[in-house]
Structure 1
Amino acid sequence: MSIPALAAGWFLPFVLPICFYVAFTDLRDMLIKNHAVITLALVFVVVGLFVLPPWSTEWTTGWVGPFTITLPPYVWQLLHIVVVLILGIFFNAAGLMGAGDAKFLAAASAFIWPGDYMTATMILVSTTLAAFVTHRLARNTALRTIAPDWESWNRPKQFPMGFSLGGGLAIYLMLGTVYGS
């Protein structure tokens, strides 16, 4: 994995509770709360400043359209938020995803290293499939009585993506602590 193991290790204890909270609130309310998304982004901004200090890391070259730009990795990772948020707004406007899902993806994108895009995609696909099957089984069995008032049980055509998005980010960072560069 391209993510530095040290960075993943520092991010994980701050991100893990946010991921659990996002999964829980999306299951319960079918809503990813803005304060959770803002907190996730702030974790990268604050912790990332110490883990990937822009003044002491080697700058990397990348392309923004036809322009070649050299920036510190910390700034490149922050740019992910802007790009994914713009894409998420379009997907939300097209009815393909919820606004909370788009905002969470944007905040979470700062934690995903460019060399790990395929790995992160596979983790997200796997967690989405597992979460969907788990949610549908729980909704249609006696397990539903554990939390009978959850909104996600009552929306048969919708799925709480925060359940898989939070899990996917947590798994990515956990794997990054073990297999990171």
Structure 2
Amino acid sequence: MQGVVATSPWAALWFLPFAVPIALWVAWSDMKFMKIPNKAVIALTVVFLAIGPIALPLEDWLWRWLHLPVVLLVTFLMNMRRLIGAGDAKFVAAMAPFFATADLRLAMALLAASLLGAFASHRGLSFVGPFRSATADWQSWHRRDFPMGLALSGMLILYLLAAVLDG
């Protein structure tokens, strides 16, 4: 039976232990500072560079490198139109090679679900006194724009988990 996710469970299991801490770092940093560190973007790219040849067939790994510049160009143009932040653009580009092209519809559905979940969670937790007090220094509580790193991180983690569970 053909799985729903094109990325194999094997590949996702290799990527998960390295991608999850970086994604959590991005989510936290974007909520606290409203910035996605370049070091996190580089770290995620290095994970794909180092783990990709182990996790994926060589040809697939090589083709997926095209995702990065294509997505970077699209998100750079979106950033120029002030639709997304520069950190978001770079992080999305670094995430892109982890996704199989065949999973574009799944990726968009996961982005929508992650965005809704992240928005509801972030806004909901702002009303929980003890949590709000413990995170009073987070810039995301005081700014109008939303920490998209939270939603993007959720998207990446959910995609890799979906690939594992699909196997």
Gaps of 5+ in 1: 55-71
How do 1:19-168 residues align onto structure 2 when only pairs under 5 Å count? 19-54=23-58, 72-142=59-129, 143-155=131-143, 157-168=144-155
Q: Structure 1 or 2: larger helix share?
A: 2
Check if 1:17 corresponds to 2:21. yes
Say which is worse superposed, 92-101 or 117-126, in terms of deviation. Answer: 117-126
Question: Share of identical aligned residues, percent?
Answer: 41
Alpha-carbon separation, structure 2, partners of 1:137 and 1:146 = 15
Which amino acid in 2 is paired with 1:173? Answer: L
Aligned residue pairs, count: 162
The CA deviation at 1:51 is: 2.0
Flag the structure with larger Rg.
1
Gaps of 5+ in 2: none
Alpha-carbon separation, structure 2, partners of 1:120 and 1:88 = 16
RMSD: 1.1
Q: Provide, for residues 84-131 of structure 1, a one-character-per-residue CA deviation record: whole Å limited to 9, x for no partner.
A: 001111000000000000000000000001111111111111010111
Match of 2:7 among 3, 14, 20: 3
Alpha-carbon separation, structure 2, partners of 1:6 and 1:53 = 11
The CA deviation at 1:134 is: 1.3
Q: Structure 1 or 2: larger strand share?
A: 1
Q: Provide, for residues 32-58 of structure 1, a one-character-per-residue CA deviation record: whole Å limited to 9, x for no partner.
A: 00000000011001100222252xxxx
Alpha-carbon separation, structure 1, partners of 2:151 and 2:90 = 14
Which amino acid in 1 is paired with 2:38? Answer: N
TM-score by length of 1: 0.86
